[in-house]
Amino acid sequence: MKIRTMGRLTREGCKNLFRNGWMSFAAVSAVAVTLLILGLSMILSLNVQHISSNIESQLQINAYVASNYPAKSLPALETKLKALPGVRSVKFVSKQQAMKEMKALLKQNQGIISGLGNPLPDEYVLQASNPRATPLLAKKVAGLPGIAKVQYGQSFIGKLFAVTNVVRDTAIVFVVALLIMGVFLISNTIKITIFTRRREIEIMKLVGATNSFIRGPFFVEGTMIGLVGALIPSAVLYEGYRWLVGNVTLFPPFTLLAPNDVLFEMSTILLLCGLFMGVWGSLVSVRRFLRK
């Protein structure tokens, strides 16, 4: 196909958008509404994921050093801990330091422990690079010589992961279902617009237009519908989310993602979805009338 012809088909496709004004409007609206809902649920699920990983990242392992462990071997123990696979950070808290923290915590009631000397052990605080691997890492830490006891919120961690798993899976199912629904909605809208143009396609074939010549403008139209249909919700969500983040104050771990982190990724996905819906919808529908 010659360049000049492609230019012509592009121009024709753009003109068709206006010639079939109401149909284009309906198709753009269908794309925009679907993508708006999709974008909303994406923002929501991204933030839910963000919050649950916030919570997860606060998981830590407290490894208590045995009281009879010689102090001069502590550096070697620390090196071993750091060498364990899947460790993100290791922090040493000496028994003196732990005592100080304990006293600060108790404040006026310091008297309770004043006669006891210092019963607290030296302690390492570890974090796993993958929070979900915390129990596994804790087991390895417990196996090291010199570690007397390990704590990582055993009873609580299972429930936490169960909850965050459910939240994540629901969000994903929701998004996928929406996407499928949107594709049907749009392909139907475009099918209707093309159905009204069956006569047009028939005439073009009679005059000697090749299939790709007929398809060209429809392809361009689908692209434009998809683009415009994605830009509208992207802009709305961008402004809306920025406003929300600027006007709502939350406390950790319940924080919102920064607008620019979310929106760039989201707009890209919306744009791709819009293009896919528009192009796929129009080409699939036009194919029905080209075959005969």
Nearer Cβ to another protein (72/292): 292
Nearer Cβ to another protein (150/214): 214
Task: Tell me how far, at minimum, the Cβ of 210 lies from another protein, in Å.
Answer: 5
Name the residues that contact another protein, by CB under 8 A. Answer: 1-2, 4-5, 8, 19, 200, 202-211, 213
Give the three-class secondary structure for 123.
strand
Nearer Cβ to another protein (8/80): 8
Nearer Cβ to another protein (142/209): 209
What is the tally of helices (H) and strands (E) in the chain? 10, 4
Task: Tell me how far, at minimum, the Cβ of 56 lies from another protein, in Å.
Answer: 59
- Would you say the C-alpha torsion 235, 284, 286, 185 has a positive or negative sign? negative
Nearer Cβ to another protein (107/291): 291
> Radius of gyration over alpha carbons of the chain, in Å?
31
Whether residue 145 is preceded by a cis peptide bond, meaning omega within 30 degrees of 0, is no
3-state helix, strand, coil in the chain (%, to 5): 75, 10, 15
* Integer Cα distance of 122 and 51 in angstroms: 32
* Integer Cα distance of 166 and 45 in angstroms: 12
Task: Tell me how far, at minimum, the Cβ of 4 lies from another protein, in Å.
Answer: 7
Task: Tell me how far, at minimum, the Cβ of 30 lies from another protein, in Å.
Answer: 22
Task: Tell me how far, at minimum, the Cβ of 52 lies from another protein, in Å.
Answer: 54
